[in-house]
Amino acid sequence: MQLVVARIGRAHGIKGEVTVEVRTDEPELRLGPGAVLATDPAGVGPLTVETGRVHSGRLLLRFEGVKDRTAAEALRNTLLISDVDPEERPEDPEEFYDHQLIDLDVVLADGTLIGRISEITHLPSQDLFIVEREDGSEVMIPFVEEIVTGIDLEEQRAVIDPPPGLIDDSEAVVASTRDAEEDAN
């Protein structure tokens, strides 16, 4: 299975280094020296990581054969793709790869089906499940422990305990009305 692990940013310096927007929780494994990565667009690669270092909080990579700023700048916006065994799992049992979560059923604790994870969006503050409902609508569910209470890969489901209004707007209206009534008393 192939996974996007990074996107090449701008050139850094004059010796062929590039900044990299990391899209993996394991950059030391996927982007370490000697790693051979496929690319999108495919004609740019494959690229072999020669060196890597962190500078001012950003990962900088140099690839074999890329020796100057011009060659590095030509790689800008290229996606770096790693081959990953589909059975491979992160070391931490509380972490998951996106491909493990896509297509999981999303259910409430009582088993009520909410929908299926169609996409995962990675934001700086948190990750979001994009859940496609049976009626074709979508709902975004923050992938945080307070809401996503369990992931069961064997059962192919994610169990959630959503706050009022996250899944159904009418719940938010009822909850806010109830809260207002309690505040008035």
- Within 8 A by CB and 6+ apart from 158, the residues are 101, 104, 105, 106, 107, 117, 129, 148, 150, 151, 152
Distance CA 185, CA 180 (A): 9
91 in any annotated domain: no
Exposure b/e, 63-85, CB count within 10 A at least 16 = b: beebeebeebeebeebbbbbebe
The CATH number of whichever domain residue 137 belongs to comes to 2.30.30.240
The better pLDDT of the pair 87, 67 is held by 67
Decide which of 83, 114, 149 is a domain's last residue.
83
Is 102 found in the same domain as 154?
yes
Q: Is residue 185 situated within a structural domain?
A: no
User: Whole-angstrom Cα distance, residue 25 to residue 123?
Assistant: 14
Number of domains in the chain: 2
We report the CATH number of the domain holding residue 6 as 2.40.30.60
Indicate the burial class of 7 (C-beta count within 10 angstroms; 0-12, 13-18, 19 or more): middle
120-164, pLDDT tens digit by residue? 887 767 788 999 998 989 999 999 989 999 999 889 999 999 988
| Residue 89 covered by a domain | no
pTM of the model: 0.57
Residue 184's pLDDT band (cuts 50, 70, 90): low
Cα separation, 95 vs 107, in Å, equals 19
Q: What pairing do the DSSP bridges indicate for beta strands 36-40 and 47-55?
A: antiparallel
Whether 14 is in a domain gets the answer: yes
Cis (ω within 30 of 0) for the bond into 164?
A: no
User: Which residue among 83, 114, 133 closes a domain?
Assistant: 83
Among residues 38, 55, 83, the one where a domain terminates is 83
Instruction: Check whether residue 32 and residue 79 sit in a common domain.
Output: yes
Same domain (yes/no): 58, 104: no
**Domain with 113 in it:** 98-180
Q: What would the mean pLDDT of 13-39 be, rounded to a whole number?
A: 86
The confidence band for 92, taking pLDDT boundaries of 50, 70 and 90, is low
Q: Beta strand 148-152 with 79-83: parallel, antiparallel or unpaired?
A: unpaired
Q: Is 167 within the bounds of a domain?
A: yes
